[in-house]
């Protein structure tokens, strides 16, 4: 059994919001992740939903601000919220900016020399963390979904599109939809994957992946605030994702929400509807 350490435990909505830590082999450091254990887990295995957070976040932002526990308790979902990057690796430059390095792992496996040992968030999310969860919690092994916000929305989309069938459903709030064509993505991909390795960039871009998707039917559900300042700055590019899904035959529902911004106020407002979306597939 993968070894984990309980860091905190709080009773909420009949279940338990816990935080655990473990030594990650993929990332070469100690990582924390939040787990909401619903009351239904006392009776047997439950589906699992993974949440991926955005730039500058840790496992704390989602579990304290999103209001997810009440919805997870309603459906009996175990919800896993990992950190967004390795911590304390002492890599030169990892603390220099808020949108690269610490808190900004971008859910990819780095290939550039300085970063490739530790910055392997894609493999951590899709391989190591699910193994840790399966070894320590009562879950239905064939019922997992994934969701996220901003950088984490990008992460959720690419994890679902790159691993057909691993996740029953996917949803996102304000995702970075087309990172190879936005400032955040270009900065991250240049640093982690190399300026010249554009083919590798495409393998972590939801638009590029949607165009060539071949797998079980996948319905992408996205909420985007119309007053999101990062939308107006060209960082998110949801229309590009809609076009890519049309080209690849991937079903997508994009809802543009009047007056809402990029914050957890926005996320918490529509969180219940995202759990409704996942329940259609996890409870089928």
Residues labelled as active-site residues: 150, 228, 262
- Specify whether the CB–CB gap between 84 and 58 falls below 8 A: yes
- Rounded distance, CA 219 to CA 226, Å? 22
- Specify whether the CB–CB gap between 169 and 143 falls below 8 A: no
- Specify whether the CB–CB gap between 282 and 274 falls below 8 A: no
Q: How big is the chain, counted in residues?
A: 284
């Amino acid at each position: 059994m993968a070894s984990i350490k309980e860091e905190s435990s709080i009773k909420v909505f009949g279940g338990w919001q816990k935080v655990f830590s473990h030594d990650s082999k993929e990332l070469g450091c100690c990582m924390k992740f939040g787990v909401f254990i619903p009351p239904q887990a006392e009776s047997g295995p439950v589906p699992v939903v993974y949440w991926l957070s955005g730039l500058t976040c840790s496992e704390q932002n989602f579990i304290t601000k999103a209001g997810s526990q009440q919805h997870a308790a309603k459906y009996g979902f175990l919800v896993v919220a990992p950190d967004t990057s390795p911590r304390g690796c002492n890599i030169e430059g990892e603390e220099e900016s808020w949108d690269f390095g610490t808190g900004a792992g971008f859910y990819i496996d780095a290939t550039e020399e300085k970063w490739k040992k530790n910055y392997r968030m894609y493999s951590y999310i899709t391989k190591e963390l699910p193994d840790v969860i399966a070894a320590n919690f009562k879950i239905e092994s064939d019922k997992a979904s994934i969701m996220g916000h901003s950088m984490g929305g990008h992460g959720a989309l690419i994890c679902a599109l790159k691993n057909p069938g691993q996740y029953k459903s996917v949803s996102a709030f304000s995702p970075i939809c087309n990172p190879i064509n936005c400032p955040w993505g270009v900065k991250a991909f240049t640093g982690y994957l190399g300026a010249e390795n554009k083919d590798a960039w495409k393998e972590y871009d939801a638009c590029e992946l949607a165009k060539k998707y071949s797998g079980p039917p996948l319905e992408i559900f996205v909420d985007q605030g119309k007053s999101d300042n990062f939308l107006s700055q060209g960082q998110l590019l949801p229309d590009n994702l809609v076009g890519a899904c049309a080209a690849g035959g991937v079903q997508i529902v994009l809802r543009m929400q009047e007056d809402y911004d990029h914050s957890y106020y926005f996320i918490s407002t529509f969180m219940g509807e995202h759990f409704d979306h996942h329940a259609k597939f996890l409870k089928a």
